[in-house]
Amino acid sequence: MKFTKTFLDGVILIEPDVYEDQRGFFNETYQKKRYEDEGIFDDFVQDNHSISVEGTLRGLHYQLPNPQGKLVRVISGEIFDVIVDIRESSSTFGQWCGVNLSSNNMKQIWIPPGFAHGFLALSSKAEVLYKTTDHRHKENEKTIIWNDKDISIEWPATKKVIVSEKDQKGVAFKKAQYFK
């Protein structure tokens, strides 16, 4: 496995070793010791699975209190995954990072607590799995509007963008609650 730190402190892109032959492939998607060796010590308490049609944009989500770390991967299709630093004390506060995750590249992204997260489905269907370090607390869910002018995320072009009613009501970054 290859672990690559991004410019957002704590966010790590993970490229698993894939063993492929005429039968198919095998890869190890998580191994506690290996992740700890790379500085990821968090315990996972919940697994989530979503399916999105092309153009679906989910996010930018986070929880306060009870922030969640997330280990995200795609098992079918492709997404553009976005992470926004909402840690007030961070030197990269308000900055974002985007990566393509797909069933072809099998990459994962580790997002520690203190970040807002979202993604755009780029394929006709995208299946996303992610582990979280805290349970979902519906009453603590927060959303920053996906097209906030201050963050200026460069989302890839798609035929259309499908955003839930909840996500359309996301707040501007300047009005969001931040991670202390």
Active-site positions?
61, 130
DSSP code per residue over 46-97: EEEEEEEETTEEEEEEEESSS---EEEEEEESEEEEEEEE-BTT-TTTT-EE
Give 75: exposed, middle or buried? Use CB within 10 Å, 0-12, 13-18, 19+.
middle
Structure tokens at 56: 């679906």
Cβ atoms of 146 and 59 closer than 8 Å: yes
Q: How much of the chain is in helix, strand and coil states, percent to nearest 5?
A: 10, 45, 45
DSSP 172: P
Cβ atoms of 56 and 116 closer than 8 Å: no
The distance of Cα 146 from the centroid of its chain, to the nearest Å, equals 13
CB within 8 Å of 152: residues ≥ 6 apart: none
